[in-house]
Amino acid sequence: MKKHHGITKVACAALLSLTAACGGGGGASSGGPKTPPGGKPPPRAQIDQGAQEQFNKALDAFIAHDKANDWSDAACADVAKQFDEAVSKQSNGKFAEATFNAGIAYQRCGDDKNARAHFEKALQDDPKFHGARAQIALYKYKADGNEDAAINELQQAVLDAQFQNVPALVNLALVQMVRDSEQGQQGCKNDMECAKLNLQRALAIDDAYMPAFNQLALYYFQLAKKRAGAVKTGGKGSRGRQIVTNAAKTKRASVQELELAALVCSQAIRKNPSYAPIHNTAGLIQNELGQVNGAVAEFATAAKLDPKLFEAQMNYAAVNLSFRGFDVARDAYKKALAMRPNDYDAHLGLALALRGPITGTEANYDELVNGAQAELDAAKKIDANRPDAYYNEGILTQEFRAKAGGSKDQTIAALTKAKGTFQQFIDKASGKPEYDGAVKRSKERMQDIDDTIQFLNLEVKEEPKEAPKDEKK
């Protein structure tokens, strides 16, 4: 029988983070300003003295937690409450900057429900509050994946800020790169050109803003793949995450653009070597250049700097899986699943990492096979229409369950089930060019199964032996 590798995917950096527009997001190591985006109230605001004093006290507390990088649920709630108290001390009950900063405090601990409510209140109190508009646009985009609506809202936030809102410029560039259409604006003829322009604007304002460097590196990375004819990535399902897949072979990305991307990463790392996402992006670029050892090192650094960076764990797992580092891949996928229990790719990758080292001689053979099957079942439960898990389940059944040492009937039953699973994969992969190679391999495996079943059912009928003739006495 022919053996083929299963389908897996390497998840790349998802830079559309619901981090603080106008600065920060993710604590002191985020690469942005170390104060919350609301900052100090602008001179135009008529702020009562008591409200101003309370605002300053809350701001000091926020900055202290950012510097110490010691945010906790209790700390986030406490700082948010301090900003809310500043609002309560304002005579008209409207203090958009304080309300917004309370939202950022909640966001530091991932409390998006309270964060979004505060952003909406801030925008209600001040319809020109561009930071709040940008944050709400990102939350809506995360929920519905509507690129056009997100770009319109982020563009409005940028205009309201008179092009001075750096994170809004970066997030606008990101969504433009995801949409990647021929729609242009003043000064740029399509989404990719507009994205580059917005990133250049962001870096012109703040040349130490690491998310802008990171997105610029990804801009060149995406451009390199586009020029090589790679399939466009992004869209509603991916939220801007780029995917490298071995489901179908694609051309190697343009080396020139990849080297530009690597140069941007190098410059950024010199400015701030502690910013985890830039190491993750550098790993993607090294992997595309074929520098696997360099990619492993960068992904490992990213995961060490920020153990909660999901994409770094996924990439570290996938690149180790690619050269049979099954134990390391298994542990990294488990860490990723601890962060996102319902991630399809993480369950699929873990199934492959569990299946990979099985030799057939283990005392707990059935337990190991069942463990891999459980992960595939979890993936199918998350998305029953996605083909990948069915292909890998077919391999698991054909190569392992059918060889578990049962009777002939049990072997035939397992092979028959594997054939049915491959057919399910083919049905679900129909019309999706990225799966063409796997479809061809599935058909080959189905033929192998038919040949094996035919062999097992073959009964060799012996010719009756001629009775010995009696010897004449």
pLDDT, position 46: 80
The per-residue pLDDT for range 202-219, each reduced to its tens digit, is: 999 999 999 999 999 999
Does residue 89 have a pLDDT over 60?
Answer: yes
Neighbours of 75 (CB within 10 A): 18
Return the minimum-mean-pLDDT range out of 44-53, 72-81, 197-206, 309-318: 44-53
Q: How confident is the model at residue 390 (pLDDT cuts 50, 70, 90)?
A: very high
pLDDT at 14 over 70: no
Q: Tell me how far apart the alpha carbons of residues 217 and 380 are, in angstroms, rounded to a whole number.
A: 34
Q: Is the pLDDT of residue 467 over 60?
A: no
Residue 418: pLDDT band with limits 50, 70, 90:
very high
Q: Say what the pLDDT of residue 226 is.
A: 87
Q: To the nearest whole number, what is the mean pLDDT of the chain?
A: 85
Average pLDDT of 11-33?
32
pLDDT tens digits for range 260-314: 999 999 999 999 999 999 999 999 999 999 999 999 999 999 999 999 899 999 9
Q: What is the pLDDT of residues 428-462, one digit of tens each?
A: 999 999 999 999 999 999 999 999 999 988 854 44
Q: Are 107 and 32 in contact (CB under 8 A)?
A: no
DSSP letters, 144-166, are: H--HHHHHHHHHHHHHHTTT--H
Confidence band, pLDDT 50/70/90 cuts, at residue 58: very high
Domains in the chain, please, with CATH?
A: 15-41+48-127 (1.25.40), 343-455 (1.25.40)
User: So what's the pLDDT on residue 404?
Assistant: 79
pLDDT value, residue 303: 96
Question: Does residue 391 register a pLDDT over 90?
Answer: yes
Residue 413 has pLDDT above 60, yes or no: yes
Distance CA(397)–CA(305), nearest Å, equals: 39
Q: Residue 161 — φ and ψ, nearest 5°?
A: -85, 0
- Phi and psi based region of residue 305 (left: phi greater than 0; alpha: psi -120 to 50; beta: remaining): alpha
156-176 pLDDT, tens digit each: 999 999 999 999 999 999 999
Task: Report the alpha-carbon distance of residue 84 to residue 90 in Å, rounded.
Answer: 10
Instruction: Say which range, 35-39, 221-225, 286-290, 407-411, has the weakest mean pLDDT.
Output: 35-39
- Split at pLDDT 50, 70, 90, the class of 335 is very high
Report the distance separating Cα 361 and Cα 192, nearest Å. Answer: 53
Q: What is the reported pLDDT for 457?
A: 87
Q: So what's the pLDDT on residue 361?
A: 85
Confidence of residue 253 (pLDDT cuts 50, 70, 90): low
Average the pLDDT over each of 16-30, 74-88, 275-289 and give the range with the smallest value: 16-30
Mean pLDDT of 83-96: 94
Helix axes 49-68, 73-88, angle to 10 degrees: 160
Q: What is the pLDDT of residue 406?
A: 78
pLDDT value at residue 61? 96
3 state DSSP class of 245: strand
Is the pLDDT at 422 greater than 90? The verdict is: yes
Residue 420 has pLDDT above 50, yes or no: yes
- What is the number of residues in the chain? 473
pLDDT at 396 over 60: yes
* Neighbouring-strand partners of residue 185: 188
Mean pLDDT to the nearest integer, 355-364: 90
Listed range (34-43, 119-128, 247-256) with the worst mean pLDDT:
34-43
CB atoms under 10 Å from CB of 231, counted, come to: 12
Pick the closest to residue 356 from 8, 2, 1 (CA basis): 8
Instruction: Mean pLDDT check: name the lowest of 13-17, 36-40, 106-110, 438-442.
Output: 13-17
- Work out the angle between the directed axes of helices 191-205 and 210-227 (0-180°, nearest 10): 160
CA angle 309, 312, 315 (to 5 degrees): 150
pLDDT at 468: 58
What is residue 25's predicted lDDT score, i.e. its pLDDT?
Answer: 36
| Separation between Cα atoms, residue 410 and residue 270, nearest integer Å | 61
Give the per-residue pLDDT at 464.
Answer: 55
The stretch 39-60 carries a mean pLDDT of 79
Write down the pLDDT at residue 213: 96
Q: Is 5's pLDDT higher than 50?
A: no
pLDDT at position 21: 29
Nearest to 118 by CA among 134, 131, 101: 101
Mean pLDDT (whole number) for 120-125: 95
Cα separations in angstroms, 369 against 9, 90, 318, 398: 21, 64, 20, 12
pLDDT score, position 3: 35
